[in-house]
Amino acid sequence: MLITVVGQGYVGLPGAVAIASAGHIVYAAESDPVRLASLTRCHSYIAEVDSEDLRRLSEAGRYRPVHDASRAPSCDVYLIATPTTLTPHRTPDLRHIDTALADIARSARPGALIVLESTIYPGALRHHVAPLFEKLSRLRAGTDVHFAYSPERLDPGRDTVLEEVPKLVSGLDACSGRMARDFYRTIFRHVVEVSGAEVAEFAKLLENTFRYVNIAYVNELSKTAKAMNIPFREVVAAAASKPFGFMPFHHGPGVGGHCLPSNLHYLNYVLATAGAPSELLAAAERINGSMPDYTVERLRLVLSRTRTPLRGARVLVLGLAFKAGVADDRDSPAYAISDSLVHAGADVRVADAWVARQPATDSFRLVELTAEECAAADAILLVTDHRDVDYDLVLNSGTVILDCRGHLDAQEVEQL
């Protein structure tokens, strides 16, 4: 089959490789010129995709980078895996999806299946995506072309085989649902078909906000546990020994990444539209949003024990990525923490070998983790616990350490 995958980011690129590996011919549409050039050279910019796999599939003619969907021939299936962002008012911003639909409309022919994999709110496929495409193409949804929704389920930084993760699928109508199910069965081991697009759309938001809310819960309890001098990570580990009715979540310096924070607003948007905004989601956002400032206050307290004021102190932050094992620094709590540290008068350095370029910020300077940097710091703040870090170098530096992730098991390390 001929497949166009629009968007070659953290969702689209692994998906395109999986589809091409299953034997399909994939036109990989990527509008960013830097990324497109990288893909043309068979160079992967995502840790989960090996450059040699790109080269192998490219040489076999099954992975073909293009600037946009209109540059590809008419395909059997179009997958949209573009970012879904927020407006300044924190409402859903579907402009990237709209652009993808306009490009697809210029090449799609009757009989095509169009599948949205980007995270959206319940009802968006039926009331926004399909009507817009009909207007752009003059092809009728459910008659000329078919629409389905199949949310991505990726966990960057983990050694997860994409094809082994159950694939949720749904269509705007029964025929579209069957087409999507049959297509994804050529790629994924387990395909779960649900009754309608709205079910799948809601399920995706439930999955991510479930995690967000539970992180807020343990973040809130961790503060009280610290005040009571109770090691909260041990509390969670003890509770996790129960084989039913409990799922462990861990507190930290904040919640980052593209998905969890934005998905909360996507869900609350549709809940508010239905007249039932969630007080729980609003509370979770406040709690998780408070963690960077709480982290800075904890560091201030730790430094005070050595009679070192935070103002004027040099702080080395370990980790800029929003989670371990990824190079993605979008909405990382490290940014809010560094801003708060600078506001308090600290001098901030950040070390993260996964992030190659100095970000556009005046709050800190990106440095390499060296013995000299550790020794020059008044405090080291572990924000992102990448595996490939010389933690012995950190522990042997003699510098005050605040571990926000529970990664360093040493008596001299202060835990968040």
Q: Which residues are catalytic?
A: 259
Q: How far apart are CA 3 and CA 28, in angstroms?
A: 8
Longest pairwise C-alpha distance within the chain: 73
Between CA 123 and CA 114 the distance in angstroms is 16
In angstroms, the CA 254 to CA 189 distance is: 35
Return all residues near 318 (Cβ < 8 A) that are at least 6 apart: 350, 351, 352, 369, 380, 381, 382, 383, 384, 389, 394
Rounded-to-integer distance, Cα 291 and Cα 126, Å: 38
d(CA 299, CA 305): 10
Tokens of 167: 């694939």
Tokens standing for residue 351: 């070390």
Helix axes 130-137, 95-105, angle to 10 degrees: 40
Would you give the end-to-end CA distance of the chain in angstroms?
Answer: 52
Distances (CA, A) of 382 to 157, 305, 379: 17, 19, 10
Round to whole Å and give the CA distance between 179 and 77: 10
